[in-house]
Amino acid sequence: MARIVSTKPLSAAQREKLARFGDVACPPEGRRFSQAELFSALHDAVGLITFGTRVDETLLEQAPHLKVASTASVGYDHFDLAAMRRRRILGAHTPHVLDDTVADLGMALMLAVARRIVELDGYVRRGEWKKGDEEVLYGVDVHHRTLGIVGMGRIGRALAKRAKFGFSMNILYHARSRHDDVEQAFGARYATLSDLLQTSDFVVLLTPLTPETENLMNQDMFRLMKPSAIFINLSRGKTVDEDALVQALREGWIRGAGLDVYRQEPIPPHHPLLSLPNVVCVPHIGSATQATRTAMLDLAIDNLIAVLEGRPKDAYIVPELKDLAEEG
């Protein structure tokens, strides 16, 4: 009997929606499959719903009937695209539904670093707050400053909207091509990466992880930034040389950083970034609200159903595999 496998628990309604395609296998609430359990479940699977599980040759060898892997995320660097192509397995993802939520976190990290929210929360909790020490508490303004966005997709647009109309910020952006709609809507100006880094008070990285963007922010790039600038990473951990970032923060090349993603996740507890007071670290929570995560899972299910019903053009197929969908 055919099977649909989800690597995380599904609600009764979600399982019922998928049941017409076969048995639905998912772990019970509060736990995940072990590798052995997952591989066993995949033997008869035609569809896989994943939340970051690596879909590579090792996994695909256990799933000889698989037709589609649908991830409940916008990023899909956990897909081995070459292995999926060899087996003609479609990959789908969930763009758009998380744009506003991730943009909210971008603003939150900018504010948290600029106004030293986490650092000063600890200052109060430790009983160190004294009258007359106001200058010790100073941060920097966000409003009317210059925001540089590296990677101007839908999340970049949502962030630019908040920054422009909520904080009266000047917007610079760098992308593979210019976007007239962004320039008209937000008064944004296109800049080369080097010009953006040298000019911006806040730099937010939103690029996907590709061979071209791995270690995009390295020692040379951080040296271009202003000593007063704040760096925010909402993209992928491997887009940043973390050793260079630590050096930039320790030596005052930049003022601070706000990070949602890391080269290794979870970040090791003794990582030097965690010892720096001018860094705010959160555990990859860009889309982590109840409403958004539910919407992402629902879209992942809809993508999977569209493929299994022979409607791949109605699914958000990852760009690198769209030609397989068009071939039918």
Catalytic residues: 236, 265, 284
Q: ∠ CA(284), CA(163), CA(138), 5° rounding? A: 80
Q: In this structure, are residues 291 and 54 in contact, taking their beta carbons and an 8 Å threshold?
A: no
Mapped to the 3 state alphabet, what secondary structure does 261-320 carry? CCCCCCCCCCCHHHHCCCEEECCCCCCCCHHHHHHHHHHHHHHHHHHHCCCHHHCCECHH
Dihedral sign (CA 196, 168, 122, 120): positive
SS3 102: helix
269 CB-near residues (< 8 Å, 6+ apart): none
Q: Which residues pair with 48 in a beta bridge?
A: 5, 69
- Rounded-to-integer distance, Cα 97 and Cα 74, Å: 9
Q: In this structure, are residues 15 and 56 in contact, taking their beta carbons and an 8 Å threshold?
A: no
- Rounded-to-integer distance, Cα 37 and Cα 59, Å: 12
Rg over alpha carbons for the chain, rounded to the nearest Å, is 22
